[in-house]
């Protein structure tokens, strides 16, 4: 999978590259939509108009980070 371009997403120009994620889980009556941003795109993430709408203290929860796998 390659990183998406950062030109336009969701009809908004100038957004940082991100993946749109749809979550389905037991107990949810509807799916949940969110975006996953790339950690190596700090400059683009800082000026992303969609990410800017998220409370500053919560933005880091939408930026991917490396972690240990299940093993």
For the chain, the domains span 8-62
Could you tell me the pTM of the whole model? 0.77
Element (H, E) at 34: strand 32-37
Q: What phi-psi label fits residue 2: left (phi over 0), alpha (psi between -120 and 50 degrees) or beta?
A: beta
Residue 22 is predicted with a pLDDT of 95
CB atoms within 10 A of CB 6: 16
| Residue 51 pLDDT grade (very low, low, confident, very high; cuts 50, 70, 90) | very high
Per-residue pLDDT for 36 more than 90?
yes
Residue 21 is predicted with a pLDDT of 92
Judged by DSSP in three states, 7 sits in coil
Determine the longest span between alpha carbons in the chain, in angstroms. Answer: 40
Per-residue pLDDT for 32 more than 90?
yes
pLDDT average, residue stretch 8-37: 86
């Amino acid at each position: 999978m390659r990183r998406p371009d950062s030109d336009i997403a969701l009809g908004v120009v100038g957004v940082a590259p991100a993946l749109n994620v749809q979550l389905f889980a037991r107990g949810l009556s509807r799916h949940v939509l969110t975006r996953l941003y790339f950690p190596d795109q700090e400059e683009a993430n800082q000026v992303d108009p969609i990410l800017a709408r998220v409370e500053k203290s919560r933005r880091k929860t939408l930026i991917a980070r490396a972690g240990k796998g299940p093993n």
